[in-house]
Structure 1
C-alpha cells in the first residue's frame, strides 16, 4: 500500500461516534440532515435561477415567454438522459467511500464525466434542431423560431451542467456537499446580471435577445463547473482523492456499470416528467382555466419537491456508505430514517400550503379572485396527498439507488405513472364530473402506488443483503 493510499483511507474512515451503542438512529438522523440541507438548498437555488430567467424574458412579451417554455421543454427532454447517467456517480462513489476505496471514488467521478461528455454531443444536436421539431409538433412558427434562438445559446450549457452534477455527486458521496451550495448561491446574482446584460444590451454589450439569455446561462454553467472543479481538485478534503489523476484513461468496465445503473434512472425521470406533461395536455383540453390552475399547482409542487429530493440524494449516499461497509443494519436505518424525515417535513410543508392556498393563488394571479384562482386553490388542496406521496417515492427511489437498484423501479414507474396514474387521470377527468380535480386525483393515485411499491422494494432488498448488488 502506498503512502497516498494510507492518507486517503484514513481521510475517509467513518467517525468513531458511529460505533457508540444506542446512538445509531440519532447519528443517522444528524448525518442525513447534514447532507440533505445543502443539497435541497442547492436545488432551490437552481430553481431561483430559472425563475429569474423566466421573469427577465417575460418582459419581452408573451411570445418570448411562450418560446422560452417551449425551448426548456426540448432542452430538458434531452438533458434528462444525461442527468440520469450522471446521477449514478453518487451511489458508485458512496459505496466506494463506505468500502474505504479512494481509487474507486476517483474512477466513479471520472467515468461520470466521460459519460457526460459522450452524451452531450447527441443532446446538443437535438437542441440545434429544436425549430423543426417544434413545427412538427404543431407549434406556431414564430414561437418555434424564437425558441430556436434561445436554444442556440442554451445548448452550450449541457456539458458543463452535467459535469457540475457529476462533481456534486462526488462531493455528496464524501459527505461534503457544501461547496456546491456556495457556488450555486454565488451563481444566482451572477446569472441574473449576465442574462439582463445580454438579453437587453447594456454597458456596451450587444442586445442579443433570447439567444443572449441562453448564452448567459451557458456562461454561468461553465463558471459553476470550473469553480466546482477547482474545489474538487485543489481544496481539502477533496484534493486527497486526486480526481484528475489518469483522467484521460476511459474505464470501460466501470462505464458499463454506470450505464446499467443510470439509464433506468433517465427513463424513470422521463416517465415521471412525461406524465405531468401529458396531464398539462389533458388540462388544456378541459379549459384554459384548468391549464393555468394546473401550472400554478405544479409550480408549487416543484418547489416543495426540492426538500424530499435533497433527502433522497442524502439517502442514496447514506445507503451507499452502508453498502460499501457491508453493514445491513445501517442500510435499513439509512433508508427508514430518510423516509420518516421526508414524511414529517413534507407533512409540515403540505399543511402550510393547504392553509395558505388562496394566498398562493393570489401570488401568481394578483388579487383577482376569478375561476382560475379558485381552481388553483382547490388543486392545491387535492394535491396535499400527492405532495406527501411524491416525497416518499423520491426518498425511497434514492435509497434504492444507493443499492444500485434502478431497473425494477423503472418497471414500477411504467406501471404506476402510466398504466394506473394516467389512466385514472384520464378517466376521472373526462368520464366523471370532476374535470381538472379528477386529473390531479389520478396523479395522486399513480404517485401513491409508486411510493408504496418502492418502499416495499426497499424493505425486501434491505432484508436480503445478498441481493444488494444484483
Structure 2
C-alpha cells in the first residue's frame, strides 16, 4: 500500500488490490458452485438437498466470517498510521476468536439442525442429503474460520495476490475431490451431494495450512512474527474486533440470509422448482462475487487513506469503486438477459428445470444492478469503521421491505415463486439508496471533523 496522487495512480492501486481479491472470491465461491453443478448432474434430489443445506450454511458462514473481517479495517488503519507493532496481537486474537465462533456454531448446529429440517416441507430423501451435507461441511469449519482471519491480515497489507494463489491452488483439488466422492470413482463410494460436503471440508483444511505456512515463513508477513510469540486470549482485543465485526457480520448475514430464507420458503413448492431456483440463485451469487470483491478492496484502500487522514483520497476511492461495479453490472446483466437459457444447461439436463432456471435468471438481471451499488458502498463504509447504522439499514431493507414484499407477491398474486425474486430486488434497491445516503453523510462528517 502506498499514497497515490493522481487518478491514474488510484485506478492502478485499486486494480492491483481488487483483481486478486476477485479471483480469490470467485475461486472460493467456485467450490460451492461446483458442489451445486456436480450434485445436480448426480440427481435432482441431491441438487435440492445441497440447495437446502447451502441455504442454512451460507448465511451462518458469511455472517460469522463477516465478524472476522473486522481484522481488515483494523490492520489497514494501523498500517496507515504507521503503527505496525499492534498488528500481530490483533491477528492472533482474531484466530482465537475464529476458533471460539466455530465451536459455538458446531454446538448450536448439533442442537437445532434436526428440528429445522424436520419442520420443512421437503421430501425425506432431500432432508437426508441436506443433513449429511452439513455434517460433512462442519469438519472443515474451524480451519475455514481461521483462514478468513489470516486472509484478512494478508489482504489488509495490500498483498491480495497471495490469497489469490492459495485459492487457485486449492480449487482444482476441490473439483477432483468432488468428482471422486460424488460419483464414486477410484473405488470410493458414490456419496452424491454429501460427497460435495466432504470434498469442501478437506479443501478448507488445505487452504488454511497453506495460509499458515505463508504467514509464518514468507515476507513481508513473517516480519510481524505473529505465531512466534503466543499470547493468551485478550478479551479487550476481542471486544475491539467484535465491536466492529459484529455489525459487519450482521449486515452480511441479513443480506445473504434473505436469499436463504427464500430458498427455505421455496420448500412449499416441488423439488423441481427448488432445483430451478437454486440453480439460478447459485449463478446470480457467482456474479455477486464481483461487487463483493470491489467492496472488500474498498475497505482496504479507504481504511488506509482514512488512517492517514487523507479524506479526499478516501472519497475518490469510494465512488470510483461504486462506478466500476455499476458499469460491470450493466455488462453482465446484458449477458444474463441474452444467454440465460444456455447458462441453465450448466446445472441440469431436465427440461422443466432448464425452463424454470432460465425464467428465474431473468429476474436476476434486475437485482444485480442494486447489488452493484449497495455492496461497494458497504465496503467503503467499513473502511471508515462506520458499521452500526449500516447494519440497521441492511436489516430494514432486506427483512422489513424485501422478504415480506416477496412473500406477499409469491402467495397472493399470480407471480408464484417469482414473487420472491421481485421482493429480493426491492430490498436490495432500498439498501442501495439508503446506504449511499449514509456514505455521503459520513464523508461530510469526516471532512468537518478534520477541518477543525
Q: Same fold (TM over 0.5)?
A: yes
Match of residue 14 from structure 2: 32
* Cα pair 1:312 1:395 within 8 Å, conserved: yes
Q: Within the alignment, does 1:76 sit opposite 2:64 as a pair?
A: no
Aligned counterparts, 1:108-147, within 5 A: 108-129=90-111, 130-137=113-120, 139-147=122-130
- Hey, what's the Cα distance between the residues in 2 that align with 1:293 and 1:64? 13
* Aligned Cα root-mean-square deviation (Å): 2.9
Q: Within the alignment, does 1:418 sit opposite 2:399 as a pair?
A: yes
- Hey, what's the Cα distance between the residues in 1 that align with 2:307 and 2:287? 31
* Cα pair 1:42 1:181 within 8 Å, conserved: yes
Larger Rg: 1
Distance change >3 Å, CA 61–CA 432, structure 1 → 2: closer
Match of residue 343 from structure 1: 326
Moved more, 353-362 or 329-338: 353-362
Distance change >3 Å, CA 358–CA 351, structure 1 → 2: same
Match of residue 3 from structure 1: none
* Cα pair 2:52 2:263 within 8 Å, conserved: no
Query: What are the ranges of 5 or more consecutive residues in structure 1 without an aligned counterpart?
Result: 1-11
Among 151, 165, 176, the alignment partner of 2:148 is 165
Match of residue 360 from structure 1: 343
Moved more, 129-138 or 200-209: 200-209
Match of residue 212 from structure 2: 229
- Hey, what's the Cα distance between the residues in 1 that align with 2:439 and 2:136? 42
**Residue 423 (structure 1) shift:** 3.0
- Hey, what's the Cα distance between the residues in 2 that align with 1:250 and 1:261? 18
Q: 1:363-420 CA distances to partner (integer Å, 9 max, x unpaired)? A: 445594x6x6555444434433310111111111111111121111111112111222
Moved more, 425-434 or 118-127: 425-434
Among 424, 427, 432, the alignment partner of 1:446 is 427
**Residue 76 (structure 1) shift:** 3.2
Q: Within the alignment, does 1:257 sit opposite 2:240 as a pair?
A: yes
Secondary structure of the 2:263 match is helix
- Hey, what's the Cα distance between the residues in 2 that align with 1:377 and 1:329? 44
- Hey, what's the Cα distance between the residues in 2 that align with 1:416 and 1:431? 21
Match of residue 4 from structure 1: none
Among 153, 164, 167, the alignment partner of 1:184 is 167
* Cα pair 1:128 1:148 within 8 Å, conserved: no
Q: Within the alignment, does 1:214 sit opposite 2:217 as a pair?
A: no
- Hey, what's the Cα distance between the residues in 1 that align with 2:192 and 2:408? 43
Match of residue 389 from structure 2: 408
Q: Within the alignment, does 1:241 sit opposite 2:224 as a pair?
A: yes
**Residue 220 (structure 1) shift:** 2.0
Secondary structure of the 2:85 match is helix
Higher relative contact order (CA 8 A, sep 6+): 2
* Cα pair 1:425 1:442 within 8 Å, conserved: yes
Distance change >3 Å, CA 308–CA 248, structure 1 → 2: same
* Cα pair 1:85 1:112 within 8 Å, conserved: no
Among 382, 397, 401, the alignment partner of 2:378 is 397
- Hey, what's the Cα distance between the residues in 2 that align with 1:363 and 1:127? 32
- Hey, what's the Cα distance between the residues in 2 that align with 1:377 and 1:204? 37
Q: Within the alignment, does 1:385 sit opposite 2:355 as a pair?
A: no
- Hey, what's the Cα distance between the residues in 2 that align with 1:110 and 1:254? 10
Moved more, 322-331 or 353-362: 353-362
**Residue 114 (structure 1) shift:** 1.2
Secondary structure of the 1:464 match is helix
- Hey, what's the Cα distance between the residues in 1 that align with 2:52 and 2:267? 15
Moved more, 312-321 or 90-99: 90-99
- Hey, what's the Cα distance between the residues in 2 that align with 1:214 and 1:464? 46
Among 75, 88, 96, the alignment partner of 2:78 is 96
* Cα pair 2:44 2:272 within 8 Å, conserved: no
Among 429, 436, 442, the alignment partner of 1:461 is 442
Secondary structure of the 1:463 match is helix
Query: What are the ranges of 5 or more consecutive residues in structure 2 without an aligned counterpart?
Result: none
Aligned counterparts, 1:234-383, within 5 A: 234-281=217-264, 283=266, 285=268, 291-366=274-349, 368=351, 373=354, 376-383=357-364
**Residue 198 (structure 1) shift:** 4.9
- Hey, what's the Cα distance between the residues in 2 that align with 1:61 and 1:358? 20
- Hey, what's the Cα distance between the residues in 2 that align with 1:318 and 1:413? 23
- Hey, what's the Cα distance between the residues in 2 that align with 1:207 and 1:307? 34
